[in-house]
Structures are given as C-alpha cells and as structure tokens.
Amino acid sequence: MKKPNLDMTPVVHPYPETTMFGAVADAAARFPKAPALEFMGSITTFSEFIRKTELAAKAFYKAGIRRNDVVTIGMPNTPQAVICLYALNRIGAIANIIHPLSSKKNITFYLDYADSKMILCLDQFYEKVLDAVKEAKREVRIIVARISEELNPVLAAGYALTQGKEYRKFPYKGKGVVWSDFLRTGMGVKLPVMQYEKDKTSVILYSGGTSGTPKGICLSDYGFNAIGMQVADVCGCNLTYGCSFLSVMPLFHGFGIAIGIHAILENGAECILIPQFTKETYAQAIIKKKPNFIAGVPTLFEALLGVDAFKGQDLSFLVGVFCGGDAVNEDLRNRVNKFFKEHNASVQIREGYGLTECINASCLTPEHTYKKGSIGLPLRDMVYKIVEPGTFNELPCGQDGEIIISGPTLMLGYLKNEEENEKTLRVDENGTKWLFTGDMGSIDEEGYVYFKQRLKRMIISSGYNVYPSHVEKVLDSHPDVDYSCVIGVKDSYKMQKVRAYIVLNSDVPETEEEKKKILEYCKDYLDVFERPKQIYFRKELPRTLVGKVAYRTLELEAEAEEKK
C-alpha cells in the first residue's frame, strides 16, 4: 500500500456556507414531509420542524434576544431542546448548552460565565434552576418545558396523571414562562434576514478544566456543518432521507449534538429522541423503533449485552454502530461484534476518537477494516500529526508523541480564556491552525492512528470527562476535610469510577455518617458524574519529593488491589 503523505496540510472541501439552521432548512426543502424528530411516538416532519423553529425564533426575538446574545439550554433530548437550539441559531444568538443535572452552583457559574440572558429547563428541574438564577450576577429569565407538551393526547393525559402530576405547579407565577406560552408571543413577529459568518460562535459546550474550572468551548456553524458532511461520508449513502438514528447521547455532549442531532438533520434523516433511559428501555427502543444507526459509549454497549429482551430478536435493520467517549477494549469489541452477528446485523462496532475542542469525532475505524489497537483513520479534511509534546517537531511513523489535529471542525477557542487558547490552539509556519490535544499516540505507515494515554490528569466515567483537581477543590472546601486526592478506578460498567481519598481534620471521626455528610455536600457543587462513588479515609496520603500528594502512588495501589 502506498504510504500516505502524513505531512500534508488540510485541503478543505467546500462545506455548506450557511448557518446550522440554514443547513437543516435546505434538507427540509428537499424532504418536507419526511420525519425529522420522533419523540415517544410523536412525529415532527421537516416542514413542521422548520415552522416550529421559526416561531420559537420569533419568540426569542420578541423577548429581546439578538445576534450574539447567549441563551442557556439545560435540557435532556426533547423536541423543545432541539427547536430551541436551531431557533437561537436562526437569529444569530448563541446556545450555551449545559448538563440538565448540573448542580445549582454549576448552573450559576455557567450562566455568569457566558453572560446568559435566558435559560430553558425541564419542569422537574425548575426549582433548582430558580435557586441558581437567584444567585446569578444578572437577570436571567426562565423558560420551562414540559414533556407532556410534546406527546400525543393519549400519552399526554397519562403522563399528566403520573410523572407530570408532581410538576404541574411549575413555574411559579411571575418567575418563569411555560414553553408553549412563550411560543405564542412570537406570533406576528417579523425576523431579520439570516446572516452567516464563518468564524462566529454559535454553540458553547463545556469541558472540565484541569485547573478546576470548566472551560467553555466556542464552536461555529461551519464546524457543525462540516462534521455533518464528514459523518455522511463515513456512512456511505445510508445517511439520508428514509433512515433513522437513535439519538440517546445527550445534547450537551459533543457526540450527542453533532452526531446524534445535527449530522442527522443536515442530511435529511430522522432523529429518534431518547430523553432518558435504562439499559432495558434503551433495548426496547432499538427493538421497537428499528433505527438504522445507534451510538453510545462503551458502558452503554456493555450494558446492552446482558439485556434479555434481545433474545431471538432480528437486528438486521442496523447499518451503523458507533462508539465514542472512551477507548473500547478488545474483549468488549469482540463480544459486541459477536452479539450483532448472532442477531443478523452485518455491522461491526466502529470506534471514534475526538474532543469537544473539535466538536466530536475526528477519527473513525473504517466500516469493514479494523487494526488491533487503532482508533481508525482521520475523517475527511482532518489531519493528524504526532509531535514531541508541546512542539511542532514531527515524529516518525510508529513513534509515540502528542497528537495534534487540524481541520474544519476545530473550535474557535475557549471562552474568555486566552491563556488556554495560546497553549491549545497554535499556528504553524505555514499558517495552519492546530489543536494540541494533550493525548499521546502514534500513526502507522498506513495512516492508522493509535491512542495511548492522556498527558493531562483526567478520569473518564461513562464517557464523561472528570477532572480530579476540580473534585478535590470541592472536597477540600468541606469544613471537616483537611485535604484529599481523587483518582479513577476500574469499573465493569462505567469503565472508571471516581474514588476519593480524604484526610479529615484531627477532631472529625472517620464514620459512615461522615461519608454521607461529605457526599451530600458534593451535590451542591458537583455534577452527578463527578461525585465520588467511593470515599476512603486515611490518616495521611503519600507525597512526592516536592511535597505534592502522590496521586500516581494511589493509582498503583488501586491497580494492585484490582489484581488480587
């Protein structure tokens, strides 16, 4: 095989020179009657989706939201969340997307950090959001979405009598507006002509900061439209009108918004929105909805293998199965592929690699080719190099170094963080911008990429990045804690779980009640996936020669414990 030119600079093919909304509107013009969204049995066609999005855009415009204003979306995968995303894009506003289960303190941080003017949340999280808004530095208006508003009449009535009953009173008078009422304010409003700028921020996603502060990642329409076309490339002719994608990865995750939402809608396919799930309900969704594409993190596929509902089921409707968020070990890969073969699906799990800093996947294993240990080949126009860490000194094929990436999906930069921008985004002597990933890897002579390890200290739990220093900062702020150290330990389901080693103040007893007290304290400051699953009390923790806590020593202890 001819050796690829690994030194080439990106040759960027033309991608849609329009907004994210414009790209989806173009798909709607081609397939107006095709289903765009399916949610709990209710179908929204492309023409209906555009109509609803235009109305929502008018409501935001009526509310005073203008170009480059920020609105926060803290929602699971529901039609309101997706419509809100594209409505903001339609008027040039910025969608600041956060985890709906974020702690109250974190919500306040996200609102202040992005200068958000409004927030959309689900009714069941309203009280927490209201408390967060009260602590914000500026006035933030709340829009409350209800699941029942997007259900057919029969399902809506059943939901209102069961799960929805508890949340009927929200929002309290004068403290927010229900989504359906908000939409009505847009009637009769005239919208300005769309403006497109290639280097304009349209979406802000978040990545945990190694220093303990989350980083806002500014992403563009151009980048999202590019990744939509890149995904279509690797799916062949399958990703278009008539096919469907089970959109289970959340909107606030690069995988969820880029692959599970925008790439699907941009290409005229159908998003089957799943707001929350267990492994059993997810299995039932696959069996009942018969999606052509599914995606998830390794823990999700691990869980699905043990679901009894799949026994005897024909899964031949599947044409693409993608996995990201963490490395897929060889054993899991083999078991998943065997599972699909036994259920008549002629697919293999395809592992992707990427960072939110380039929206999501920038490398993917080919459809019918797999090289052991490899994360595949770069997507169209994405260029990988292996360099001496922190430099542009390129290393030979097969040699380990830092992975740097260039291409059309790179972020515009971190929000209000020039110091990190200078470290992470750098321009070479040819004027090409590169993303320094902080990950170690290599490239072989055929161009296949191999991920080895992260240079930055980080835990990946169920596909989410957890930064130990951030968790330690919260733990150390507890009045009973002297100091702490957080590591990731192996977990059969989550791949890694968060373990905290804590040295208490001398007058505090080491009891189970104290552990519960600390974990309760964490709820106000840490998101669900960041909270320790294990707490070990110690009289002291090992230290390095310069006096820092030796977290690597604790990691080695945990690894030895695992082998026993």
Q: What is the CATH number of the domain that holds 533?
A: 3.30.300.30
* CB contact burial 301-320 (16+ within 10 A = b; e otherwise): bbbbeebebbeeeebeebbb
Task: Assess if residue 51 is contained within a domain.
Answer: no
| Contact criterion met (CB below 8 Å) for 19 and 194 | yes
Query: Using CA atoms in the order 125, 126, 127, 133, what is the torsion angle rounded to 10 degrees?
Result: 110
Per-residue pLDDT of the chain in tens (564 residues, 90 and over written 9): 233 333 334 444 578 899 999 999 999 999 999 999 999 999 999 999 999 999 999 999 999 999 999 999 999 999 999 999 999 999 999 999 999 988 899 899 999 999 999 999 999 899 999 999 999 999 999 999 999 888 766 565 555 545 555 655 666 666 789 999 999 999 999 999 888 999 999 999 998 644 457 789 999 999 999 999 999 988 866 788 899 999 998 999 898 999 999 999 999 999 999 998 888 888 999 999 999 999 887 778 888 888 999 999 999 999 999 987 667 777 788 889 999 999 999 899 998 888 899 998 899 999 878 888 888 999 999 999 999 988 999 999 988 889 999 999 999 999 999 999 999 999 999 999 999 998 888 999 999 999 876 666 778 777 777 878 778 888 988 999 988 999 988 886 677 899 999 999 888 999 999 999 999 999 988 888 889 999 999 998 887 654 568 888 898 888 888 777
Task: Assess if residue 499 is contained within a domain.
Answer: yes
Q: In degrees, to the nearest 5, what angle opens at C-alpha 243 toward C-alphas 238 and 247?
A: 110
pLDDT tens digits for range 208-248: 644 457 789 999 999 999 999 999 988 866 788 899 999 99
Task: Assess if residue 523 is contained within a domain.
Answer: yes
Question: Distance of CA 210 to CAs 465, 531, 556, Å?
Answer: 10, 16, 21
What the block records as the tokens of 91 is 């008027």
Task: Assess if residue 555 is contained within a domain.
Answer: yes
Helices (H), 241-297: 254, 263-266, 279-289
Task: Assess if residue 215 is contained within a domain.
Answer: no
pTM of the full structure = 0.82
In total, the chain counts a number of residues equal to: 564
Task: Assess if residue 515 is contained within a domain.
Answer: yes
Q: What is the count of structural domains for the chain?
A: 1
Task: Assess if residue 177 is contained within a domain.
Answer: no
pLDDT tens digits for range 521-560: 999 888 888 899 999 999 988 876 545 688 888 988 888 8
Task: Assess if residue 283 is contained within a domain.
Answer: no
Residues spanned by the domain of 551? 459-563
DSSP symbol at 171: S
